[in-house]
Structure 1
Amino acid sequence: MKAQPVDYAELHCLSNFTFLRGASHPQELVERAADLGYTALALTDECSVAGVVRAHEAASERGLPLIIGAEFTTVQEHRLVLLATDRAGYGQLCQLITLARGRRAKGDYALELNDLLTEPLDGCLLLWLDGDEADLQGLAQRFAGRTWLVAELFATADREQRLADWQAQAQRLGLPVVAAGDVHMHARGRRALQDTLTAIRLGRPIAELGYALFPNGERHLRPLASLQALYPPEWLAETQAVARRCRFHLTELRYEYPHELIPSGHTPSSWLRSLVEQGARRLYPSGVPGAVQQQIDHELALIAELAYEFFFLTVEDIVRWARTQGILCQGRGSAANSTVCYCLGITAVNPAEQSLLFERFVSKDRGEPPDIDVDFEHQRREEVIQYIYRKYGRDRAALAATVISYRPKSAIRDVGKALGLTLDQVDALTKTLTWWDSSEELPARIREVGLDPDAPVIQRLIVLVRELIRFPRHLSQHVGGFVISQGPVSALCPIEPASMAGRSVIQWDKDDLESLGMLKVDVLALGMLTAIRKCFDLIEGWTGERLQLATIPRDDSDTYAMIQRADTIGVFQIESRAQMSMLPRLKPANLYDLTIQVAIVRPGPIQGDMVHPYLARRAGREPVRYPSQAVRDVLKRTLGVPIFQEQVMQLAMVAAGFTAGEADQLRRAMAAWKRKGGLEPFEVKLKAGMAQRGYSPEFADRIYQQILGFGDYGFPESHAASFALLAYASSWLKCHHPAAFTAALLNSLPMGFYAPAQLIGDARRHGVEIRPVDVLFSEVESTLESGPQGVPAIRLGLHRIKGMDLAVAARIVQWRRQLPAGQPARGAEALRQGLMQIAGLGREQMEALAAAGALQSLSGHRHRAYWDAAGVEAPTPLLGRPQFAEGQPLLSAPTEGEDLLADYASLRFTLGRHPLALLRSRLDAHGAICARRLRELQTGRPVCVSGLVTGRQRPGTASGVIFMTLEDESGLINLVIWPKVLEQYRSAVLHAQLPLIHGHVQNEDQVVHVIARHLEDRSDWLGGLAVASRDFH
């Protein structure tokens, strides 16, 4: 007779968020449990709830009850699982995880047995896996009526003995037994991957692991019939008794922003209105326009209805504090659609001037919280972060997490080691991979490094790498997303230490927070804000005038002329290769043009075929037509082409009858359709709505194709407008204060697209004198000095020396300032006495200064400086100072080539002749012309060029084309490398520092490219010169 099917809930299950143990995604576990007919699934990752939101989403779709818990191993080596029964129990579980994680460094935890006896855990159930029986008796008293022995049985020879042992233990302790599976994977097919994860975790090859591996592949979600054959029916039934007691659901979580920002006598709404009105009066001293006041009232009413006042007040407080400290900051993203944010000083874009759409930011129908991103100076953002921690405490403020997942390179490295490949083989494989190589291309890359892709071990490697890609590897901190709450954050989600000192993070990422409707403040870092503030400081020190972003003159013709020439190296947002190619074509002449410029060089407009129609209409080569006045009102500023997300939303509303909420749902679907699909219902509604309103099928199809393009990333207009303000400000500074701007950029690195060598070369081409690092003249950072005709020159700072500690640089400056006025130190004696004794520099630091040429004023050329730094003339402690002067050795000055190599090794640039100037005769012999001559050549002209590689890019929209930038002594050369050429000359394209290229010229609209046909790697001509390039960022 066939046994009746049983009900079963899995109560002990690890996902891949138990890093390097679990071998399945949370979603896979939920799907498999639902397919097998389980009545519930408990996700019990080790000391973690990092995967529960993903499991919750999948469980909600499948209608499978999800139980939330965690597995722990105590310091005393007890193994157990805690399950949350209700909201209070979930909070207690999260706070216990926080306690355990907080005792150890990132990635580890320490739970004491005593914690289980003393911490509040009355809302949790205890499932005992293993450990000292005497300790279990004490816990069973604390968890009276809430403790179970867990029996985990597998098809092994000792099954009957293990059954008897559990039954005997249960009788001794008077505890019920419940069945569980110690699940590490959703299906048996992940066994090989689970073994591989074990090898990675233990740092040993699989072949050496022996009993460290599971003896079989049974730790997966098993069919009910298999479980019924293994377990007594009462143990299976007990899973239902446990599951019925676990009633908590993640939707019960409620999140509040801090309340203490409200002064006495005010409500949240009245205080927010008061601050907004103060800001409006400051922005409109002659009176707030009626339309602006109407918009303020509309926004405040909606904010109050949705109870978002505390959110806006919290962000306003952070921004206001930063400004009191002189920290430049500016909001961006969809928040710039808000007049309230503008009046609060959070954003700098006036929505009334841009015709922005508030519903892009806040809407009753959105179903998700608003998102406010604020950029702060990147070198001072830490001050803002620590202010947040001080104000709210570490229990009420924490950064969101980012899940770091395996990519092809990291997967190959770890799997290769696990399979026993040599380090040389693993290194060769990872070096040949690029970010765009998919796992399907692995066999070709493997063949390139001389391995056989058909060998059994390599076949295993390929399979395992494909499985491991996108697996979570560890949690890191989000770039700046803060969760700040009225109550303890740890009652919502556990907090754990970040790897960076002074930081703590929750175990959920931004997508988890968004899924649960939780608000976060993005405290982001922007290098250009640092550079602008430092530029303001330098200008004030030079001229006495204090500039501010708001006081920079608008509509400066010289600035826009510079932008139209694509003379924008170092300028925010419009300095990339693609942007510089677009500038002479679009020719921005005002801030709105610049907003379009920022937005149009993005995958969305490019994929949606919006760029060429816009440029053609702007140049008058194509007429602008609108199918209706309503569409004209939406698209007239962009010549009939939807470039911004807000325009797509508005088109859906005016041309297809979408509500504001439906339009926002369309926006979210646009952004996610390539990953998740889901645009089909919108296509039907959009085309039907347009047909109903008399629009042609061709127009509807064109709009829908443009919407599809936004799936590849498109800017909201508000975001582009915020960035355009900084693009213009940095352009104006470059145009009118080139020395201060370049010095500020050098003092703000790393940031932007260009290395110091390119920034310095560009400044020199603009007539700025650059003076070398020198211990007698340099400050810690680069500064301005008086140059010819009173024009400022740049004195490079000591911080430019490779490996220079800023504290050491500060001591050098302090030593120099103590020198007697008018008596500069000279010679080895001053060098020894001053730098080595007063400034406390050791021999290694002295040699670093000598290598950088920073001792020239003291010792002369590098060879002499090295001799002095080596302490050859220093007195010995035993013999004291010699009685007779010793002769100075005659040291020849280094050659120009030797100086060049030393400059690049120590500074990464040279103030001498460009390296290619020294190679020009050899390049001439090979027919290579310089960058300056390219501008004179017509399209189609065959050409040979060469230069130092400064950057490689491969935009996702470019169909596999690689863009490479070279630099020679006269300027920059732009290369286009088509996929066929890449495959033929892959090594030279990806790795050459000095390629020699044959191709032909493309010279259109003042933009010159070389289309590569043949490449040779001539890096050996550099004689060991190390040149860094910015590749594929």
Structure 2
Amino acid sequence: MKSFIHLHLHSQFSLLDSCLKIDELMKRAREYNMQALALTDHGNIMGALNFYKQARKHHIKPIIGAELYVAPETRFDKPDKDNDDLNYNHLVVLVKNEQGYRNLSELISRSYTEGFYRKPRIDKDLLEKYHQGLVALTACIHGEIPFKLLHRREEEAYEAAKWYRELFNDDFYIEIQNHYLETQLEVLPKLIRLSEDLSIPLVATNDVHYINKEDADARDVLICIQTNNVLSNPDRPMKKETDQMYFKSTEEMRELFAEVPESIDVTVDIAAKCNFEFKLGKYFLPEFKVPENSTVDGYFEEICREGFERIRPTLKGKKYGIEVYEERLNYEVEKIREMGFPGYFLIVWDIIRFSRENDIRVGPGRGSVVGSLVSYVMGITSIDPLEYDLIFERFLNPARISLPDIDIDFDGDRRDEVIAYIRNKYGEDSTAQIVTFGKMKAKLSIRDIGRVLEIPLNDVNKLAKMIPDGPKVELKGEIDSNPELQKELKHVPETKKLIDFALKLENNIRHTSMHAAGVVIAPKKLTEFMPLYKTKDDIVTQFEKDEVEEIGLLKMDILGLKTLTIIETVLKEVKKVEGIDIDLDNIPLDDEKTFKVFQEGDTDGIFQFESSGMRDYLKRSNPDKITDLIALNALYRPGPLGSGMAENYVKRKLGIQEVKYLFPQLKDILEDTYGIILYQEQVMRISVVLAGFSMSEADEMRKIMGKKLTHKLPPVKKEFLAGAVKKGFNKKKVEELFSQMETFAQYGFNKSHSTAYALLAYQTAYLKAHYPVYFMTANLTSESEKTSTSSKVIQYISETKKMGIDLLPPDINKSSEQFQVESPTAIRFGLKGLKNVGPAALTSILDAREDGGSFKDYSDFITRIDLTRVNKTVLESLIKSGAMSSFHIKRRALFESVEEVIRQGAVLQKHHSQNQKSLFSSAEDAAAVVISREHLEKEEWSENEIIKHEKEVAGIYITYNPLEKYGNEIKKISNTDIASIEAGDFKNEVVRLGGVVTEVTQKKSKKGAFYGELFFQDLTGRIKVLAFKEKWAQLRETLKEDFPYFLEGRFPDNGDSTPNLYLENLTELDAHLKKQVRGIIIKLKYDQLTETFLDELEERLRSNSDTIPYKIFVYTPDGFRVTLNNTTGKGLKPTLDMKKDIESLTGKNSVEIQF
């Protein structure tokens, strides 16, 4: 008796329709002793390679297929939106051979690029062109033939069957299913009769969507997630009608189709026809066209030699001689040629050549490629690998040949130009970006399922709070280790139900998107290797990035890096304004001003060194050479931080902890990191020097240690010990060293990557140190393009002012689109950042200014701009921002007269267009006529109204920030700042912050309860705060916008990656500061103590008298401190007004309020 083969099966790659995971499928197939298996996901083969590899691993024959959607007429039709039965039919196809795979790939690709309408659809025209090498089954009840039989259209069904048989010949089968559905039971005998009448063989399938019968409910929940429905809705689409779509055994299937046993037997025959195999382990690189009479290998070497001659003059005086470089270059060229990769290097070289020739900034390097001298001489990277002891074999291991992985950073604004060049050079059909899959991780599963089950949001949040964040968090592990969660499961039935479903659906694929950087290049049409898929806006591959490489195609990460955009902006502006060409590749790497930026932790805007935690390490470790920055970049990661490596590094650098080496030979390898094994390259060098390993062997050991491949470690350890002992090293100490290497290798970082990014950080710090106004302008522009209210904009404005650079308000005569440098100490706000000032209005203003020069006055402005574009709303925004202040008219007068001004301006423009004399004889007359005396004589807006309006249209405070007057006092009472919270550096449960409430909105929950949504801002950023129930009831009547407060709150652990802060307490900042003051210190210099000064001081002390005790310290020229007696007998007011009053006499920062 023949076995049974499942030929109609859906995995989780039938998105949100199947909860069947491929690894679980293989285990069950082995249990049932099935020799073969087909995968037929809906409209795609995204899971095909994963399925293929796992099947081979389990000694099961994999059959690649898909359940396609076929348009009833043409794939270009868009018929009845509400009736899917009229939009498409189903057809199962299975791949027999390579031709069949290519044809299926083409069919699926065209279904997305040409036929997508609710579903990716093909049509019969495409089937006629691309049917060879495929087996076709009539599919489920939604297949064309069963559907027509069900609706009593027998003649049409027979005609369709004849058409398919004529097309597929002996590779066409009538598919029968029985899930005990009424429709199936009705159509089953009709299908059997049609099979007999037309002599077309029957094949039994089970339309598998889950492993076990009891998983049917989980699939039902998944469908609700897909359709955005709830389980209790009786009228929802695709509601569960059966629990029979599970992975049945041969015995179950034979019993189900006992009357037609041949339909079971034929599954084995069909499986025997399907013999397609992926060609894994082979590479299919695009052809790089070399000049006439050249070979790829020859041209590659020619480019390398030319590049080496170009850098030769720069190698004089370096720690290695020219001969070392020549030897290394010869070695790398030889190994690259042996591995067959010269074409790959030429492709990358050409992309970077195009970019540089078109002034598209390229990063210095990324990843292990920085360790290659060939890459350096070809210009692929801009870092000398020998200078930093970087290793070629960390990039390419001749003993373990795999396609090189070169990722490249480009100016983020021009990345699309690079991708367009690649597409143009290698063909649109041969290039694409790459799909990525979003999965239902633990917390997301709980939230999705909680909604479907209609569990109250608070209960879902409570449950989600018990699950930690992180991509590797698994629900089962959390249940086993979390007593609180176990208690919930035991006592709350709804929780148990939710978690049971979540355990089944966790890690199911939820959606697709486009990989941020990956681009694939094929030697011919991509559809010959895999099908394409259409996301919302882009065509991408159906295989993810690792799989693209596994099938032998060239995958490159073309990354857009904002830092490179900022650098390019700075360099261009410095060149334009000051005529200076800055060559960042040749700046001194020992610049004191640059290192001061790092040493003082002033790293706002510095690539990868901005976080508050990193600033702390910078200030404590006092870096003074580039190798320090390389080390810190590698150290500031969870592993080294958690293991104590980072702390030990700081102590050793400062001489607090002794640096020891187990063997003298380790000093050259570990000296830069003060005896700590920090880099993967150090593990490799130790293996070579002490154990006599080759670099290839050392790379293998590095990989085994770093990836914790414990089963491979014993023989490597044995070889390492034997090699070291043979070279005369003490065995006991060698064992100790190996143990250290094993520990550190878990956290070891790629030094090549760290070097490249530390250098990029140094370059940004160099620009900040030497061209601060240009650097901060570029950063402000970059961040404001996201949104002017972003925390980074607020943070950079604060940093700009701290650096002594003024932020000037927008000005109708001076502002351009973006932030711009106005002087060495001033940045002008751009008009583009203003609310309601859109592209049309902006163009009208800038064009008028360019054509006719600056606007002489308000009348001149109104008569020269296009009032249909610069309308009432635009004018109001310009006025509120202060952009009209250079006309010396009160903002309030301008604002309240807008409508009148527009009416008169329209008349003036009409008269001017008719070449009639203007109504105005002078600018003074124009101002007087346009704006009435009533408006002009009104009082100006208050200071608070002015900044409120500025914030409304600019998103930030421009004239002044209400927090600036508090100086460092806010830091003394706060336990963090908003920048640290956003960077994830703040871990405390309770948040205490001084800041300003900038926006207040009352909202209503789904249950009808009112709550408050506040935006709270300090000098480093802004954050959303929610006030509930009693808190909101207490606050809502008295809360003031743009007013300083002291806030206390907590972050709920409800699964959100960026949770809102929950308010616990809010008090006026001045009142809170007053309560916290313990005392006041007044610091004076001895030479200030004149009689007049002391009399004035005593008067000010009396006028500010209150209850807070104070002391007066006098500092003498020789460094002694003397305390003066309190002559008033009273204390002082604990207020900033007191501080300001006394410091106006005693000097800045002479009064210290102690908390």
Taking structure 1 as the reference length, what is the TM-score of the superposition? 0.84
Q: Residues 685-732 of structure 1: CA distance to partner in whole angstroms, max 9, x if unpaired?
A: 3367337735666864675566456556x5311111111111111111
Q: 1:655 to 1:220 in 2, by over 3 A?
A: farther
How far residue 270 of structure 1 moved from its aligned partner, in angstroms, is 0.7
Letter of the 1:479 partner, please give it: A
Letter of the 1:643 partner, please give it: L
Match of 1:909 among 940, 947, 956: 956
Match of 1:582 among 613, 617, 628: 617
Partner of 1:983: none
- Residue 353 of structure 1 aligns to a residue whose secondary structure is coil
Query: 5 Å matches for 1:148-167?
Result: 148-155=173-180, 163-167=188-192
How far residue 189 of structure 1 moved from its aligned partner, in angstroms, is 3.7
Name the CA distance, whole Å, in 2 between partners of 1:168 and 1:345.
Answer: 71
Letter of the 2:96 partner, please give it: T
Contact 2:435–2:540 (CA under 8 A) maintained in structure 1: yes
Query: 5 Å matches for 1:104-253?
Result: 108-117=119-128, 119-129=129-139, 130-132=143-145, 133=157, 134-155=159-180, 163-210=188-235, 212-231=238-257, 232-251=260-279
- Residue 629 of structure 2 aligns to a residue whose secondary structure is helix
Partner of 2:318: none
Q: Please tell me the root mean square deviation across aligned C-alpha atoms, in Å.
A: 4.0
How far residue 583 of structure 1 moved from its aligned partner, in angstroms, is 0.8
Q: Does 1:69 align with 2:98?
A: no
Query: 5 Å matches for 1:785-804?
Result: 785-786=822-823, 791-802=824-835
Query: 5 Å matches for 1:202-601?
Result: 202-210=227-235, 212-231=238-257, 232-251=260-279, 254-285=282-313, 289-330=322-363, 331-408=365-442, 410-420=444-454, 435=469, 456-500=493-537, 503-601=538-636
- Residue 741 of structure 1 aligns to a residue whose secondary structure is helix
How far residue 423 of structure 1 moved from its aligned partner, in angstroms, is 8.2
Q: Does 1:895 align with 2:942?
A: yes
Partner of 1:815: 848
Letter of the 1:345 partner, please give it: G
Match of 1:637 among 672, 680, 686: 672
Q: Residues 607-655 of structure 1: CA distance to partner in whole angstroms, max 9, x if unpaired?
A: 4442233223222233333333554443233222111122223334555
Q: 1:841 to 1:12 in 2, by over 3 A?
A: farther
Partner of 1:949: 978
Letter of the 2:557 partner, please give it: D
Name the CA distance, whole Å, in 1 between partners of 2:573 and 2:644.
Answer: 44
Contact 1:954–1:963 (CA under 8 A) maintained in structure 2: no
Q: 1:856 to 1:135 in 2, by over 3 A?
A: farther
Letter of the 2:754 partner, please give it: A
Partner of 1:938: none
Bigger CA drift: 123-132 or 602-611? 602-611
Name the CA distance, whole Å, in 2 between partners of 1:106 and 1:689.
Answer: 61
Q: Does 1:89 align with 2:134?
A: no
How far residue 743 of structure 1 moved from its aligned partner, in angstroms, is 0.6
Match of 1:741 among 751, 775, 788: 775
Match of 2:33 among 20, 25, 37: 37
How far residue 85 of structure 1 moved from its aligned partner, in angstroms, is 1.3
Q: Does 1:837 align with 2:837?
A: no
- Residue 625 of structure 1 aligns to a residue whose secondary structure is coil
Q: 1:834 to 1:429 in 2, by over 3 A?
A: farther
Q: Percent identity?
A: 26
Contact 1:337–1:357 (CA under 8 A) maintained in structure 2: yes
- Residue 413 of structure 2 aligns to a residue whose secondary structure is coil
Structure 2 segments unaligned to the other structure (5+ residues): 73-87, 146-156, 316-320, 912-917, 920-928, 997-1016, 1022-1042, 1051-1061, 1072-1155
Letter of the 2:12 partner, please give it: N
Contact 2:611–2:980 (CA under 8 A) maintained in structure 1: no
Bigger CA drift: 105-114 or 734-743? 105-114
How far residue 327 of structure 1 moved from its aligned partner, in angstroms, is 1.0
Q: 1:605 to 1:474 in 2, by over 3 A?
A: same
Match of 1:17 among 13, 19, 22: 13
Partner of 1:981: none
Q: Residues 450-486 of structure 1: CA distance to partner in whole angstroms, max 9, x if unpaired?
A: x999654454334334443432122211111111111
Name the CA distance, whole Å, in 2 between partners of 1:192 and 1:407.
Answer: 19
Contact 2:994–2:1018 (CA under 8 A) maintained in structure 1: yes
Name the CA distance, whole Å, in 1 between partners of 2:490 and 2:864.
Answer: 62
Q: 1:18 to 1:843 in 2, by over 3 A?
A: farther
Contact 1:12–1:183 (CA under 8 A) maintained in structure 2: yes
Name the CA distance, whole Å, in 1 between partners of 2:749 and 2:867.
Answer: 57
Letter of the 2:806 partner, please give it: E
Q: Residues 839-865 of structure 1: CA distance to partner in whole angstroms, max 9, x if unpaired?
A: x23444444434433333358455444
Partner of 2:1055: none
Contact 1:606–1:709 (CA under 8 A) maintained in structure 2: no
Contact 1:84–1:123 (CA under 8 A) maintained in structure 2: yes
Name the CA distance, whole Å, in 2 between partners of 1:855 and 1:700.
Answer: 76
How far residue 256 of structure 1 moved from its aligned partner, in angstroms, is 2.5
Q: Does 1:929 align with 2:977?
A: no
Q: Which has the larger radius of gyration?
A: 2
Name the CA distance, whole Å, in 2 between partners of 1:271 and 1:470.
Answer: 48
Name the CA distance, whole Å, in 1 between partners of 2:617 and 2:898.
Answer: 51
Name the CA distance, whole Å, in 2 between partners of 1:603 and 1:106.
Answer: 46
Name the CA distance, whole Å, in 2 between partners of 1:859 and 1:35.
Answer: 86
Q: Residues 24-49 of structure 1: CA distance to partner in whole angstroms, max 9, x if unpaired?
A: 22222233222322111111112212
- Residue 212 of structure 1 aligns to a residue whose secondary structure is coil
Bigger CA drift: 679-688 or 690-699? 690-699
Contact 1:181–1:220 (CA under 8 A) maintained in structure 2: yes
Structure 1 segments unaligned to the other structure (5+ residues): 935-943, 975-991, 1000-1013, 1024-1033
Partner of 1:1029: none
Q: Does 1:853 align with 2:898?
A: no
Query: 5 Å matches for 1:766-781?
Result: 766-781=803-818
Contact 2:65–2:93 (CA under 8 A) maintained in structure 1: yes
Contact 2:724–2:734 (CA under 8 A) maintained in structure 1: no
Letter of the 2:272 partner, please give it: R
Name the CA distance, whole Å, in 1 between partners of 2:963 and 2:983.
Answer: 26
How far residue 571 of structure 1 moved from its aligned partner, in angstroms, is 0.9
Partner of 1:52: 48
Name the CA distance, whole Å, in 2 between partners of 1:729 and 1:125.
Answer: 60
How far residue 358 of structure 1 moved from its aligned partner, in angstroms, is 0.8
How far residue 973 of structure 1 moved from its aligned partner, in angstroms, is 9.2
Letter of the 2:957 partner, please give it: T
How far residue 427 of structure 1 moved from its aligned partner, in angstroms, is 9.1
Letter of the 2:413 partner, please give it: Q
Contact 2:102–2:527 (CA under 8 A) maintained in structure 1: yes
Letter of the 1:906 partner, please give it: V
- Residue 250 of structure 1 aligns to a residue whose secondary structure is coil
How far residue 188 of structure 1 moved from its aligned partner, in angstroms, is 2.8
Letter of the 2:19 partner, please give it: A
- Residue 979 of structure 2 aligns to a residue whose secondary structure is strand
How far residue 802 of structure 1 moved from its aligned partner, in angstroms, is 4.6
Q: 1:551 to 1:626 in 2, by over 3 A?
A: closer
How far residue 836 of structure 1 moved from its aligned partner, in angstroms, is 4.3
Name the CA distance, whole Å, in 2 between partners of 1:267 and 1:965.
Answer: 67
Aligned length: 951
Letter of the 1:887 partner, please give it: S
How far residue 911 of structure 1 moved from its aligned partner, in angstroms, is 2.8
Q: 1:875 to 1:528 in 2, by over 3 A?
A: same
Query: 5 Å matches for 1:744-759?
Result: 744-749=778-783, 755-759=792-796
Partner of 2:1057: none
Letter of the 2:131 partner, please give it: L
Name the CA distance, whole Å, in 2 between partners of 1:363 and 1:253.
Answer: 16
Bigger CA drift: 871-880 or 209-218? 871-880
